[in-house]
Structure 1
Amino acid sequence: MNEYIIGIDIGSSKICAAAGKIDKHGRMQIMGITSAICNGVKKGIVVDIDSTSESVKQCIDGLERMVDIKITDAYISLPGGISELVWNKGVVAVASEDREIKDNDVKRVIKASKIITIPSDKEIIGVIPQQYIIDGYDKIKDPIGMSGLRLEVDAQIILAQTTVVNNLFKSIEKAGINVSGIVFQPLALSEVVLKKEEVERGVVLVDVGAESINIYSFEGGNLVSISTMSLGGNTISNDIAVCLKLPFSEAEKLKIKYGSVGRSSVNNDIKIEVNADYNNKIHVDQDILKQVIEARVEELLCIIKGELKSNEHYDKISGIVFVGGGFALIKGIEDFSKDILQKPVRVGSPEYIGAASPLYAAAVGAVKDAADSMKDKSLRIKSEKETEGIQREWTKERNKHEEKKENSSGFVSKLKDFFTDFF
């Protein structure tokens, strides 16, 4: 429990890494977080292994200096945009004689749900159990310890292209990091930026990255759909660069530092000094910068609205949560988006000291998901040991009781034999 858990999120413009630790009270704490620029990934897919590997190395080196440990293993956040969800059912008979459902029964039913026909270029990377059914009774979240004859599971099978996953793994491993496991990004994000009530009621998580927008719909406590668009925050930066005749890197800095939309409290009358090409400094009117950003953000929001309206779950959406560095950091984005999307909007940030930014949500989510899995496993082992202890005590008491009964019955039978002989 004292070991660090490392989570890595590989995006199209940045690689973020977080280090977490479970404290003595069983709560997860983020001990360090850092990021590095990445040019080897496009729309969530690795296009240059060497470049991506070098960026991972830089990011991990920064995290090692921060937490003062040597990092060799990490959990990887896999983007939902490169994945596909397929529904399937698994059915098994409960193995134990007393019909109590054990961990092995759950593993068997999950394995049974993976028996599906998949294309040759894809592979199963995970399973999301939606509900368990015991002897016809559904909506069971955790069947372990319950009794039954037949165990079923309704599950979502996560598929991804084999080459995409392999190239991602190669990039990580080339940086000297072993992949401890894959964390599905939509679920990782939901654990750190969404409230349980939101997920139950119906909410949409919009992850706006540099080159893609991933839309994840949740309803009834489950992830119900994924959609992806090949647009992102880079289109805003590109507009700034073209309109104001600036290098792309300077345009990106302007967007992050001074970007605002709507009726924000920012003073738009000031001039901003920017380094242009050939070391020339120019002054940019902040009001013009705002107009450029607003025009593109409005267009992106209208595209997102169209995508949401085409979703069958649109009417059940109670709110929309933005994450990622695409435009979640732009001032006034919540009110501006609310007017266009006609739904309550907020920016989602992890509630951890030092990591409270929508930029770090996926990396922190990967750590949280891995930490919860470890904690659940240790609690289950502890529970099994306690149950074994109780069973041993109960067996001892039963044996003592039976021994007393035998002794008592032996005395009575001897007394009976004595009286029989006497008479």
Structure 2
Amino acid sequence: MAEKEFIVAIELGSSKVTGIAGQKKPDGSINVLALVKEDSSQFIRKGVVYNIDKTAQCLTNIIKKMETQLKTRITQVFVGVGGQSIRGVRNVVAKDMPDDTIITQEMVAELMEENRNLDYPDQKILDVAEQEYKVDTVMQLDPVGIRASHLEGNYLNILERKSFFQNLNKCFETAGIKVVEMYLAPLALANAVLTEAEKRSGCALIDLGADTTTVSVFYRNVLRHLAVIPLGANNITKDIAQPLQMEESEAEKMKLKYASAYTDNNEIDDTLKYSIDQERQVESRKFIDIVEGRLEEIILNVREQIPNEYCDKLLGGIILTGGGSNLKNIERAFAIHTHFDKIRIAKFVTLSISSNNELIKNHNGMMNTLLGLLAKGYINCAGNEIDPNRDLFEDDNNVYQANGQTERTPRQAHEVGPGVILTEQEEKLAEEEARRKREEQERQEEQERLEREKAERLEREEAERKRKENSWWNKLRRGLTDFGEKMVSDE
């Protein structure tokens, strides 16, 4: 990429909102140019926006700080969508056809469209993961070209509360930030940390976040299940703070210093105590019980979210990532409570990343989703250089003008790739385009109807004319006329 070409991605998390800018090189590697984060605990809970104004202000601050580092205007961004309200729901759409019908791509698209038009009260379909298709009695990943009389499409619909999705869009609209594209954050993360072998042979990706834990199950390269559990590493911190009557910030320090996901009973020293402050201490066994009690609850909830039909098929095992995966002995705890032998911690993405920022160089799993979102970006987000003699925070009507780089025809949901979510603006444009096409089709059908009626009328008139000509009265009249003419001619 040129010097002033870069991609910007933003992740809205429960504990922080993070923005990142990076350049993609021809060899596929990414050079991180800027990284900014701000606390979001006061307006985002469990990955969901609750205060639009404060979130919009936070986004504005992040953009301004990144522009300061880049010395360049940011015209547009890519955004990750996640949070507690996201969940996967299965659905089946069936179609009966005449015998020996050859299935076409149009038939498959019709099934998908019917599935996407399914109405979930107060819920919005963000994305659809195609599962298998049942062709007569046989399951197929790709049914096109097969003869059949019955076709069933199996889908995993990814849902989110409509109000939450609207709030997210409203934040960027209020901040005046143009969104190029929205991605389903769990899928962006999966693409960044899972190997092709893991997705093909089957695995469960567990993202242990601050307030939520996301479970994504893959098998044969297809997302089979997605759920967000409203429990995370912060719950352990709160469990430490409340009974020990201490600030959560101090409890967090104790967790990072002493906590372990699993401790064998024979390894516990009943005489050992951990310092709370200068005057108080807590027995190590009590501290261990607090940490392990909550963590066991999280792990058992994770295990419940792995469908039984895939438990013995996940040859890739469990892959842990996120900030919570840094807890000591976390693999052992998951192995004991889930009965999965194969556990891997994804400390970093599989991509080639270069950066001088310590947050990225730490390789602690906390930046994986953000780097996955950055990798998904494909359109330049850089604008004009910033004049160093000008006030950075001075209003500029052209700050977020995208210079026409994202102008494109309105897309329908089936025209985007997996994990891509249409923004509200794109949905409106798509609806307008669909309405225009419907109106055009209706006009064309009306014109064809009028022409058809005209042709039918002319055909009826012609038939009526011929009927009259061939009637007995006309034949008699023509006969008398011909006889009279013949008589006159003979005379």
Same fold (TM over 0.5): yes
**CA distance 1:109–1:5, change in 2 (3 Å):** farther
Task: Note if contact 2:210-2:233 (Cα within 8 Å) is conserved in structure 1.
Answer: yes
1:113-171 deviations in Å (ceiling 9; x for gaps): 665222363334334456899xx996469x9xxx99xxx99765544332111101122
Partner of 1:30: 32
Q: Distance in 2 between matches of 1:114 and 1:371?
A: 29
- Of the three residues 320, 335, 340, the one matched with 2:337 is 340
**CA distance 1:250–1:114, change in 2 (3 Å):** same
- Of the three residues 322, 325, 329, the one matched with 1:324 is 322
Partner of 1:294: 292
1:190-205 aligned at under 5 Å gives the runs 190-205=190-205
Task: Note if contact 1:200-1:220 (Cα within 8 Å) is conserved in structure 2.
Answer: yes
The normalised TM-score by structure 2 is: 0.60
**Residue 68 (structure 1) shift:** 3.8
Task: Note if contact 2:260-2:329 (Cα within 8 Å) is conserved in structure 1.
Answer: yes
- Greater Rg by CA: 2
- Structure 2 runs not aligned, ≥5 long: 96-104, 147-151, 382-491
Give the AA of the match of 1:217: V
The normalised TM-score by structure 1 is: 0.68
Task: Note if contact 2:211-2:234 (Cα within 8 Å) is conserved in structure 1.
Answer: yes
Identity %: 25
**CA distance 1:23–1:169, change in 2 (3 Å):** same
Q: Distance in 2 between matches of 1:89 and 1:373?
A: 39
Partner of 1:47: 50
Q: Distance in 2 between matches of 1:61 and 1:271?
A: 47
**Residue 237 (structure 1) shift:** 0.4
1:88-103 aligned at under 5 Å gives the runs none
Q: Distance in 2 between matches of 1:290 and 1:115?
A: 47
Q: Distance in 1 between matches of 2:85 and 2:169?
A: 14
Partner of 1:350: 349
- Of the three residues 82, 95, 99, the one matched with 2:85 is 82
Partner of 1:420: none
Task: Note if contact 2:17-2:39 (Cα within 8 Å) is conserved in structure 1.
Answer: yes
Task: Note if contact 1:16-1:360 (Cα within 8 Å) is conserved in structure 2.
Answer: no
**Residue 199 (structure 1) shift:** 0.5
**CA distance 1:26–1:307, change in 2 (3 Å):** closer
Q: Aligned-residue CA RMSD in angstroms?
A: 4.2
Task: Note if contact 1:109-1:153 (Cα within 8 Å) is conserved in structure 2.
Answer: no
1:170-319 aligned at under 5 Å gives the runs 170-262=170-262, 287=284, 289-308=287-306, 311-318=308-315, 319=317
Task: Note if contact 1:256-1:329 (Cα within 8 Å) is conserved in structure 2.
Answer: no
Q: Distance in 2 between matches of 1:179 and 1:110?
A: 30
Partner of 2:17: 15
Q: Distance in 2 between matches of 1:292 and 1:366?
A: 35
- Structure 1 runs not aligned, ≥5 long: 92-100, 375-423
Give 3-state SS (helix, strand or coil) of 1:24's partner: coil
Q: How many residues align?
A: 349
Partner of 2:60: 57
1:183-205 deviations in Å (ceiling 9; x for gaps): 01221011111111000011111
Q: Distance in 1 between matches of 2:21 and 2:108?
A: 29
Give the AA of the match of 2:373: A
Q: Distance in 2 between matches of 1:107 and 1:32?
A: 43
1:224-274 deviations in Å (ceiling 9; x for gaps): 11123222222100111123321112222332455333369x999998777
Give 3-state SS (helix, strand or coil) of 2:168's partner: helix
**CA distance 1:117–1:358, change in 2 (3 Å):** same
Give the AA of the match of 2:344: R
Task: Note if contact 2:259-2:327 (Cα within 8 Å) is conserved in structure 1.
Answer: yes
Task: Note if contact 2:186-2:214 (Cα within 8 Å) is conserved in structure 1.
Answer: no
Give 3-state SS (helix, strand or coil) of 1:357's partner: coil
**Residue 210 (structure 1) shift:** 2.4
Give the AA of the match of 2:32: I
Q: Distance in 2 between matches of 1:9 and 1:232?
A: 17
1:366-421 deviations in Å (ceiling 9; x for gaps): 111224999xxxxxxxxxxxxxxxxxxxxxxxxxxxxxxxxxxxxxxxxxxxxxxx
**Residue 49 (structure 1) shift:** 1.3
**CA distance 1:245–1:61, change in 2 (3 Å):** farther
**CA distance 1:30–1:107, change in 2 (3 Å):** farther
Q: Distance in 2 between matches of 1:167 and 1:296?
A: 31
